[in-house]
Structure 1
Amino acid sequence: MINKYVPVITIDGPSASGKGTICKIVSKILGWNILSSGLIYRSFAFFLKKNKIETCVYQNYDLLIKYLNIFIYRGLFFYFLKDSNILNQIYTSEIGNIASRLSVHYLVRKLLLPYHYFFKIPPGLVADGRDMGTVVFPDANIKIFIDSNINIRVKRRMLQLQKNNIYVSFSRLKYVMKDRDNRDCNRFHAPLFCSNDMFAIDSTLLSVEQVIDNVMQYVYKKLY
């Protein structure tokens, strides 16, 4: 059940726009709970890959839902959250690409939606994703959209992957990320877009500190 009296800040945006980093810092400043929606979908994608389930499952709707129910009823998402080794594996381009393909299915999104609400507890929640402010928490107190130039985003993701000893060429990663952007923005259910009630920030030429300053000024203005 959703607690309507818990304040929510949503931060949406494309891959490697910086929304995850901003979400972590804002939640720490406010002392609020944090949610990364992508982690939920990536966890399911990791489960499929780990069990060597063929990629045809993405097209076989009944089979896809069968494995999704196994994932849900075993409580594997919360199990994965406790394993740092698994978390490192979840944040790869391959897992992200699988997660993006899974997220276009309406029933997948519907069945995973309740997981988001477990995190909406006092004193508040800061949630990042691609449809946090438009679908998951449409009545959020504050909605933010962070975007950035694709080349900058590719460089950021490369650095993130290299920290986990994963190396990929710039051109290959750019192709994968542009393909994912296209899927995320054009999927029929819960597409990625900046709605009129969102505070939009282009982080291309901004440091993390500058983005945080902009976000927190807006947050304090709206909340207090």
Structure 2
Amino acid sequence: MKRFLVAIDGPAGAGKSTVARQVAERLGLTYVDTGAMYRALAWKALRDGVDMEDEEAVAHLAESITFTLEPNGIRVNGIPLKDEIRTPQVSELASAVATMPKVRKILVNKQQEIAASQSVVMDGRDIGTHVLPNADVKIFLTASIDERARRRYKELTAKGIPADLEALQEQIRRRDENDRNRAYAPLRQAEDAILVDTTNQSVQEVIEVILQHCRNKLGGEE
């Protein structure tokens, strides 16, 4: 069977990672969490004391990193990372790193290399528009800012990470603005992407909607 590529885009907190991971599992495809790659890069830069305003330095670090994607996390140069890349501080830094054109080009190349040899479900901000413009199925997930902040608050507190709901709402607003207004590969819905608003839908409902679109495509019905 030829490669089957699924692109899932959307703003922060729309549920991309949760949904994409389960869609990939149900279809037997490889899940690629591109957001985790930016977060892991931000975590590594922070740990190594790299100047986050020096694009050349961050790009050099990105080039040198070996990312290994796993079902429930990511490894950076062999170091397993999970909750440490989900803190508010790392989220802020990842958003800043993601606006750097040189950094994005490096990580996009790494993402395209992953998808060049296998079928994937890849989620992020610019997958359908930039990373995998020829994806077989493109989904754009969204939800209200209040709902996205509530989900992130619940996720963080469940892991024992202190969080403030109002601060999360403001953080998500800023991240949306950064993602939509960056010069290189901004967040936007691809013309051929299917819009799915998850505000009033359960995770399983969203998964079933996406799976149906994938099955239709695989069955040649579209």
Q: Secondary structure at the match of 2:162?
A: coil
Q: Which has the larger helix fraction?
A: 1
Output the amino acid matched with 1:204.
Answer: T
Which moved further from structure 2: 112-121 or 130-139? 112-121
Gaps of 5+ in 1: none
1:73 aligns with 2:64: yes
Are the counterparts in 2 of residues 33 and 121 from structure 1 also a CA contact under 8 Å? no
- The 1:81/1:88 distance shift into structure 2, 3 A limit, reads farther
| Other-structure match for 1:14 | 11
Rounded Cα–Cα distance in structure 2 between residues aligned with 1:95 and 1:105: 16
The structure with the largest strand share of the pair is 2
Q: TM-score, normalised by structure 1?
A: 0.88
Deviation, 1:117, is 2.5
TM-score by length of 2: 0.89
Shift of 1:123: 5.3
Secondary structure class of the residue paired with 1:205: coil
Contact 1:81–1:87 (CA under 8 A) maintained in structure 2: no
* AA at the equivalent of 1:20: S
Give identity over the alignment, percent: 29
Instruction: Specify the code of the residue in structure 1 equivalent to 2:148.
Output: R
Listed one character per residue, the Cα deviations across residues 136-164 of structure 1 (whole Å, up to 9, x for unaligned) are: 00010110000001111001111111232
Shift of 1:67: 4.1
Unaligned runs of 5+ in 2: 69-74
Task: Specify whether residues 37 and 204 from structure 1 end up closer, same or farther in structure 2 by C-alpha distance, changes over 3 A only.
Answer: same
Shift of residue 71, structure 1, vs aligned partner: 4.3
Deviates more, 1:65-74 or 1:177-186: 65-74
CA distance in 2, matches of 1:202, 1:39: 22
| Structure 1 residues 14 and 81, CA gap change in structure 2 (3 angstroms) | farther
What is the deviation of 1:72? 2.8
Number of aligned pairs? 212
Query: Does 1:33 find its partner at 2:30?
Result: yes
User: Could you tell me how far apart the structure 1 residues matched to 2:167 and 2:39 are?
Assistant: 20
- Quickly say closer, same or farther: Cα 1:50–1:189, change in 2 above 3 A: same
Distance change >3 Å, CA 11–CA 115, structure 1 → 2: same
Alignment pair present for 1:45 and 2:42: yes
Q: Counterpart of 1:218?
A: 213
Give the corresponding residue for 2:204: 209
Contact 2:62 2:106 survives alignment (8 Å): no
SS of residue in 2 equivalent to 1:14: coil
Residue aligned with 1:119, SS: helix
Secondary structure of residue in 1 paired with 2:115 = coil
Q: 1:183 aligns with which of 175, 178, 182?
A: 178
Q: How far apart are residue 179 of structure 1 and its match?
A: 0.5
Displaced runs of 4 or more, over 3 A: 81-84
Structure 2 contact 108–131 (Cα < 8 Å) conserved: yes
**RMSD between superposed Cα atoms in Å:** 1.8
- Say if 1:34 and 1:119, in contact at 8 Å, map to a contact too: no
Counterpart-to-counterpart distance in 1, 2:26 and 2:218: 14
Quote how far apart the aligned CAs of 1:119 are.
Answer: 2.6
Which fold has the larger relative contact order, with Cα–Cα distance below 8 Å and residues 6 or more apart in sequence? 1
Contact kept in structure 2, 1:9 and 1:143, CA below 8 Å: yes
